């Protein structure tokens, strides 16, 4: 899919005078959504605008240290402040998601009534059509796209330590620390520039990856002991029940990255994690793959989800056991695709 850049000359003209801006990421924001949003906020502030980040809900502790995070609203529990910021705004940036339902139904209702224009900057497939768009599925992260947006505006000299730190974090988390196929030489050049501009790579890695609680490691231990391998389909999957989450005092973000352990097995090219969420009565699923097997398509077809070719998410409204049984029975239809997906 080619890059889409729509209306950005008009957008530049619109942003020539100071504006009230709101920046929104997807529900359960990850490092890329938060990093891109905070970086854009710092940049727009430097350009004379008043920018507010409104996230649909809270995010993990290991992202709360990011500069500017303390002034971010969570739409679900800071609803009146969030609504007020949205009402006052003259334009809304939608970052790191491709369709409005990704913000969750409450916030989606509010955004659907919004009278002014949206700008979407995102790297997911099949984006909705909004007035101002910069979409590129070939870029590893929305954070890299924010760097490129700043570059388009000839403003790279405005990138300071805070912006560099936020962008570095977003690129690092969405590329699995610069190891996925989406990581290009350009990504590395941008990362080098961000280090030159003040991003402290060792501190950022430490803050994000070496800040585990003891319970989080115990939960990981439980997840690994639940791992099941289906060698005939080069597939491995992990389950976590609500009871197991409670036993290890589950906190937001504790399961992030766990699915990658299934993918780290030799010979495995398709991995899934099924996480029971009794509060929402769903099983939340993450999929990862190597090579040509598209988990985006798989999740769209069977789990009401989507994402990227090699990393996607979805959900099931059945019980854990039914969900897992259904998943295993689906694999038969994908045996050939899975066999040829990735030469090891």
Per CB under 6 A, residues contacting ligand 5GP are 26, 286, 305-308, 311-315
**Least distance from ligand 5GP to the Cβ atom of residue 187, Å:** 16
Using the minimum distance from each CB to ligand 5GP, give the nearer residue, 56 or 306. Answer: 306
Assess 174 for contact with Mn ion (CB under 5 A).
yes
Find the shortest distance in angstroms from Cβ 286 to ligand 5GP.
Answer: 3
Contact code string over 82-111 relative to Mn ion, x by CB under 5 A: --------------x---------------
Cα 322 to its chain centre, rounded Å, is 27
Report the C-alpha gap between 189 and 167 in whole angstroms: 13
Q: How far is the CB of 76 from ligand 5GP (least distance, A)?
A: 17
Q: For residues 219 and 311, which CB has a smaller minimum distance to Mn ion in the complex?
A: 311
Minimum distance from CB of 218 to ligand 5GP (Å)? 21
The option from ligand 5GP, Mn ion, none interacting with 197 (CB < 5 to 8 A, set by class) reads none
Q: Which strand (E) or helix (H) includes residue 106?
A: helix 105-112
List Cβ<8 Å contacts ≥24 apart for 65-68: 65/207, 66/34, 66/35, 66/38, 66/165, 66/166, 66/169, 67/38, 67/42, 67/161, 67/162, 67/165, 67/166, 68/38, 68/41, 68/42, 68/162, 68/166
Residue ranges in 216-245 that form contacts with Mn ion under rule CB under 5 A:
none
Distance CA 241, CA 244 (A): 5
What is the Cα–Cα distance from 259 to 311, expressed in whole angstroms? Answer: 10
Secondary element (H or E) of residue 34? helix 31-46
Tell me the two tokens of residue 133. Answer: 């768009």
Residue nearest to ligand 5GP (CB): 313
Nearer to ligand 5GP, 68 or 127 (CB): 127
In whole angstroms, the minimum distance from the beta carbon of 144 to ligand 5GP comes to 14
Q: Nearer to ligand 5GP by C-beta: 60 or 314?
A: 314
**By rule CB under 5 A, what string of x and - marks binding of each residue 14-53 to Mn ion?**
------------------x---------------------
* Partner in contact with 245, chosen from ligand 5GP, Mn ion, none, beta carbon below 5 to 8 Å by kind: none
Question: Distance (Å, rounded) from C-alpha 338 to C-alpha 240?
Answer: 24
Cα distance between residue 85 and residue 73, in whole Å: 9
Cα-based torsion angle of the residue sequence 203, 204, 209, 210 in order, rounded to the nearest 10 degrees: 20
Which residues in this chain contact Mn ion in the complex, by CB under 5 A? 32, 96, 142, 174
């Amino acid at each position: 899919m080619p890059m889409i850049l729509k209306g950005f000359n008009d957008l530049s003209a619109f942003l020539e005078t100071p504006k009230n801006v709101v920046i929104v990421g997807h529900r359960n924001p990850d490092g890329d959504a938060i990093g891109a949003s905070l970086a854009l906020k710092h940049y727009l502030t430097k350009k004379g605008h008043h920018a507010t980040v409104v996230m649909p809900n809270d995010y993990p502790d290991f992202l709360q240290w990011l500069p500017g995070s303390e002034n971010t609203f969570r739409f679900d529990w800071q609803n009146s402040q969030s609504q007020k910021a949205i009402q006052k705004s003259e334009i809304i940036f939608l970052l790191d998601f491709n369709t409005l339902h990704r913000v969750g139904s409450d916030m989606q209702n509010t955004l659907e009534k919004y009278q002014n224009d949206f700008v979407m900057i995102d790297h997911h497939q099949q984006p909705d059509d909004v007035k101002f768009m910069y979409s590129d599925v070939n870029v590893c992260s929305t954070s890299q796209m924010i760097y490129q947006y700043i570059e388009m505006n000839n403003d790279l000299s405005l990138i300071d330590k805070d912006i560099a730190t936020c962008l570095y974090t977003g690129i690092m988390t969405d590329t699995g620390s610069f190891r996925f196929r989406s990581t290009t030489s350009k990504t590395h050049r941008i990362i080098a520039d961000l280090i030159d501009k003040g991003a402290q790579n060792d501190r950022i890695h430490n803050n994000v990856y070496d800040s585990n609680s003891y319970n989080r490691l115990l939960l990981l231990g439980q997840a690994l002991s639940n791992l099941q391998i289906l060698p005939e389909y080069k597939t491995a999957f992990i389950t976590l029940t609500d009871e197991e989450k409670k036993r290890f005092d589950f906190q937001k973000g504790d399961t992030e990255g766990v699915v990658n352990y299934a993918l780290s097995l030799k010979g495995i090219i398709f991995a899934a994690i099924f996480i029971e969420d009794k509060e929402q009565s769903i099983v939340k699923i993450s999929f990862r793959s190597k090579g040509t097997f598209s988990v985006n398509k798989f999740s769209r077809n069977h789990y009401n989800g989507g994402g990227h070719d090699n990393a996607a998410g979805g959900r099931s409204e059945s019980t854990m056991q039914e969900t897992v049984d259904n998943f295993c029975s689906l694999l038969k239809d994908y045996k050939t695709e899975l066999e040829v997906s990735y030469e090891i």
